Amino acid sequence: MPEHPPLSSLRETRQHGPATFPCAFYRADSTLVPSGVPFAVKHHWHDMPEVIYFERGVYQVEINMQQRTVDRPCICFINSGELHALISQPDDYQEQAFVFSPGILRFDSADLAEEQLIAPLLAHRLAFPAFFFEGHPAFAALESCFLGIRAVFYRENTNFPEQLTVRTPAAQLRIRAHLLTMLAVLAEQHLLLVREPAKDPRIELLKQVITYIHENYRSPIRISELADIAGLNEQYFCRFFRQALGKTPVGYINEYRIRQAAYLLRATDIPVSEVCMECGFNNFGHFAKEFKKSMQLTPLQFRKAARTVLL
């Protein structure tokens, strides 16, 4: 029986920004990838809240096993600890997101904002609502704050790395100011949610299974291993997994491996045969078939197209 990972190890391990100012910005744009490739973020979670701006495109967004179609401009909040994933329709999308620690908003003085808003956010007693679509009374103000934050990150990162960060004092002050304004808008309109302390055991099981897949996708993964982690028999586990995520465990594993392979093909010069083995496929024909089914291109075609886009 595989060793079960502790819950503390299930979160995303990426560092979002410098330790002194944990805040980072990310972007996805269909013009920056080969044609026909959707933007996909696999199921994960992290300790920090995330704010996403769906500027253009159509997306399927899942938060804690609840799915929603986003087909018009939308500001979306992901709270700490929420299991989430998204995928766009290919060819025409533009999405940006920033992840931040509420700790960057703290005041030294124990004023009402600290007592009633910031401290409860840090303690997970308050939460953000999930979706604000264009036309919602708060959307324009939240969008303005988001665009202000984006402008600060863009000024500080003219070469547009994968993760945008800010390090100058003025930029950090401006990020704080926009975030505080965003929080004020939500507070004024009584939109912040009192968070329930109870956790959904199904989501906690999914976190454990998904984390095991993410940590072991390079090696063979048996359904029996995943069922043992969830504490279920194989038949019930497969039904539970499909009902929760809309795909079989094998389908999810293959999709995750393909996404990792796409990153290696785009970002490295590793031979395609080695990418195949590195991402957990022990049969090149199977790898090529699964890759083309997911990306509409062979691995070599994808690598060539990705390099053409980057030129």
Q: How confident is the model at residue 2 (pLDDT cuts 50, 70, 90)?
A: very low
Please give the Cα distance from 220 to 36 (Å, whole number): 29
Predicted model pTM: 0.83
Residue 202 has a pLDDT of 86
- What does the H/E/C string look like for the chain? CCCCCCHHHCCCCCCCCCCCCCEEEEEEEHHHCCCCCCCEEEEECCCCCEEEEEEECCEEEEECCEEEEECCCEEEEECCCCCEEEEECCCCCEEEEEEECHHHHCCCCCCHHHHHHHHHHHCCCEECCCEEECCCCCHHHHHHHHHHHHHHHHHHCCCCCCCECCCCHHHHHHHHHHHHHHHHHHHHCCCCEECCCCCCHHHHHHHHHHHHHHHHCCCCCCHHHHHHHHCCCHHHHHHHHHHHHCCCHHHHHHHHHHHHHHHHHHHCCCCHHHHHHHCCCCCHHHHHHHHHHHHCCCHHHHHHHHHHHHC
Please give the Cα distance from 171 to 82 (Å, whole number): 28
Dump pLDDT digits (tens) for 49-73: 999 999 999 999 999 989 999 999 9
pLDDT at 199 over 80: no
Dump pLDDT digits (tens) for 98-117: 999 999 998 777 788 999 99
pLDDT at 13 over 70: no
Structural domains of the chain in order of their starting residue, each with its CATH number: 7-194 (2.60.120.280), 201-310 (1.10.10.60)
